[in-house]
Structure formats: structure tokens, C-alpha cells
Amino acid sequence: MDRRAFLSYNAAVAAIPLTGVALASLTEAASAAVRPAPVDFTSNLPAPGSFPKRWICGSSSCMDNTDPPVQVHWYNPHTAILRQNKAYSYEAPFAPLYFGNDRVLLLDEGFVQLRNDWDLRGTVDQCIAEWCARNGRDPASLELLVAFSHLHADHYAATNQFADRPNTRYMGLTHEEMVGFWGMTNFPEERVRLDLGGREILIWGSPGHVVSEFAYYDSYTQILYTGDMFYRGRCYISFWQPWFDSMKRLIAFCDTHPVSHVMGCHVEISKDGQDYAYGMTYQPDEAPVEMTVQQLRDAFAMAQTITEPGIYFTGTVFLCNQTRGTTTIDKNPYRYT
């Protein structure tokens, strides 16, 4: 498949306005007879769900870590949140897995590439199998969309594990392929709707941390997933103006849509606001991954006052304005006079 063909053969076929009855193929129609009733993702919103009190967060000695490589937390019966073990990678990103009647969306993947080091594919397959068993579906009938929030290796490293998975589409690793995957023609302003089968995901551009970044809103749980441009930790803002514009878009979205939680990809901060330095593999007292809309608004209010590069703490997140990656607020503890 050449590049042009790839860009036209993308997940946009599932996105509005191309989705719906027009897409229903003969095979789907045939299997519909034996399917149980579809899950209703549109009433009683937001769907209730819960985050764990405490995520698995590494251990003082990495090689003695016996936790599973991927922690799977079912936020509610149709939403799983995966997290990489800190002893497998210090990045330990979170990865939501949204189930719809026709498709499953995996966002982000963790910072280990090889399947024999870190079997993300197996874990995702197992989650899908569990969900299908609970809902009387055939896993083979579900399409898996493997996407990521932005173009950084800790979010796409494991993509190749899904390369040979049947009924799977995964996002390419260039800006054009990412934007094309969602069928966007006007990045970052355009907001597209992805239909997972009764469950809609709203997607729009959210550059600033990097150029190629999206925000994802799940209309079922009403979780706003903001990637690395806004998360509880050090938001490395590479490009201030695009980031500020993205924040404006997020605030405007929150003004018009109900949002239950704002969720980023990482946690790099403790409950009492202590910074876990870049690369740490043990965060025994880490803050929850979910944030409130108010915290997002507070950060935006503070961002409006920022004119200089530097590190600013909003009370929830560190805004690292145009400091270079891996910068922290650490000091040498042994300094003396």
C-alpha cells in the first residue's frame, strides 16, 4: 500500500460523517442476527466509573519488582485504563482502552518496544477477550484501533506489536499519517467524531508539547484525555503559542461539554506537590492521574500571566515553558557553604 492509498484507507471511514448504516457490510449484517443487543452508550451519562486509590508505582529496587508489566484497571465495565509498570519504563504512561459495539480504541502504548520484553499486545488481547466474554461477543468481530496521543516514543513504542494483529488499524508515525488517520483536513482546529459503535470519541488537535498531538474526549465516560500537553507532572511546553491556543480550545470545550475528569498520560508529582525527577522509577506517594476541570482552568488562568520561559507550578502541574526536556526543579542536596 503506498502512502497515498494509506492516507485514504484510514480510520476516517469510521469517523463521522462516513460511519453508520452506509458502512454496514454484508458480513456485519449477517452476524448481527446472532449478536446480543448492543451496549447502550448514550443514556445515563456520564457513565459512572472509578480510578484506583493508588496505582502500581514502581519499587525501590527495580529488579525485585514483581508487579505485572501492565496494570489493568477497569474504570467501568466498558473502559479499561492500562498503565505501564515503572520498573519496565520510568515513563510509565497511562493508556485508556475504550470499548464500543464495533471497535476498540487503544490510546498510547508505553515505552518498551519488544513484545518479549513487555507484552502489551497480549494484555490488550486479554482485555478484549474479557470484555467480549462479559458481553457475549466474538473478539474477532471487534476492530482494534491503535492510536496515540502524540508523536513521542513513550507513546508509540509498542505499535509494532500490533502489526500482525487481524482486524487492527494502527496510526502511522508521521504527522501526516496521524492527522490522516483521523481524517482531519484542518489540524488542529477541526474536531472529528470517531464512532466506536454507539460510543463517540471527539478528537481534535492539541499541539504545544509537540506539533503532532491530539486531545480525546470520550462521550460515554466524559473523560477528557489531554496527552502530554496537560498532565500531572512536568508539562514540557516546547511551543508556547500553539500550547496556549490548545489550552484555549480545551477551556472552550469544557465550557460547552460536560467533562467528568481531565486525564493526562503520566504522573510525575506526589500527593503533596513534590516533583518526581525525570527518570525516577519509584513514586511511592504519587498523585492521582485524574484532574478536575477546575484544575485545568486554574492552570489556564496562570498560563495567561506567563510571559517568560521557566518552570511554573500551578498547584496541580508544572508548566515547563520552553525549558528543555528532562529539566526539573531539582537542586544538589549536598550543597554547602
Partner 1 sequence: MHGYYGIPYIMSEDYDSRHGMSGTRLSTMPRPTSNITIAQKCNIDIFLVVRTEFCRSKSILGNSVAQGSVYNPALSGNSQSATGRAYPNGNPELGYNPPGVRNTDSAVPLHRSKPVVHDYACDGPAPGALGFRWTYGSNVAARNRDPRVQVVQYNEDTFVLRQNVCVHWEAPFTYLLFGNNGALLIDTGATATPAHYPLRETVDAIITRWGQARGRSKVPLTVALTSGEDIAQNQGLAQFAGRADTTIVPKPLPVMQRFYGLQSSWPSGTGRIDLGDRVIEVIPTPGTHKDGVTFYDPYCQFLFTGDLLFPGKINIGNDSDFIASLERLKAFAGKQGIKWLLGGHVEMMFVPGKYYPRFATYKPYERVLEMVPALIDEALQYAREVQGKDMMLIRPDFAFFNGVSPDQRTQVWPEGVPNINPPRPF
Site for partner 1 in 22-61 (CB under 8 A): 60-61
Question: Interface residues for partner 1 in 298-327 (CB under 8 A)?
Answer: 324, 326-327
Inter-CA distances, 191 with 127, 177, 214, 244, Å: 29, 17, 10, 17
Question: Does the CA dihedral 65-88-213-215 come out positive or negative?
Answer: negative
Give least dist CB 177 to partner 1, A: 22
Q: In what order do the strands lie in the sheet with 310-313?
A: 234-237, 318-321, 310-313
Query: Which residues on adjacent β-strands are paired with residue 282?
Result: 58
Helix axis angle, 293-303 relative to 240-256, nearest 10°?
Answer: 140
Q: Pick from 29, 32, 114, 173 the residue near partner 1 by CB under 8 A.
A: 114
**Region near partner 1 per CB under 8 A, out of 3-11, 109-117, 193-201, 225-233:** 109-117
- Least distance in Å: CB of 267 to partner 1? 16
Could you say whether residue 113 binds partner 1 (CB under 8 A)?
yes
Complex with partner 1: residue 219 or 281, whichever CB lies closer: 281
User: What gap in Å lies between CA 267 and CA 91, rounded to an integer?
Assistant: 9
User: Cβ distance 128 to 134 under 8 Å?
Assistant: no
Check residue 162 for interaction with partner 1 (CB under 8 A).
Answer: no
Q: Which of 251, 280, 302, 306 binds partner 1 (CB under 8 A)?
A: 280
Smallest separation (angstroms) from partner 1 to the CB of 32: 43
Q: Is 92 in the site for partner 1 (CB under 8 A)?
A: no
Minimum distance from CB of 85 to partner 1 (Å)?
Answer: 6
Q: Does 93 bind partner 1 (CB under 8 A)?
A: no
How does strand 94-99 pair with strand 103-107?
antiparallel
Stretch that binds partner 1, among 100-108, 222-230, 292-300, 328-336 (CB under 8 A): 328-336
User: What is the DSSP-derived secondary structure letter of residue 13?
Assistant: G
Q: Sign (positive/negative) of CA torsion 104, 236, 224, 87?
A: positive
Contacts with partner 1, residue ranges (CB under 8 A) = 60-65, 67, 69, 85, 87-90, 112-114, 117-118, 157, 277-281, 324, 326-332, 334-337
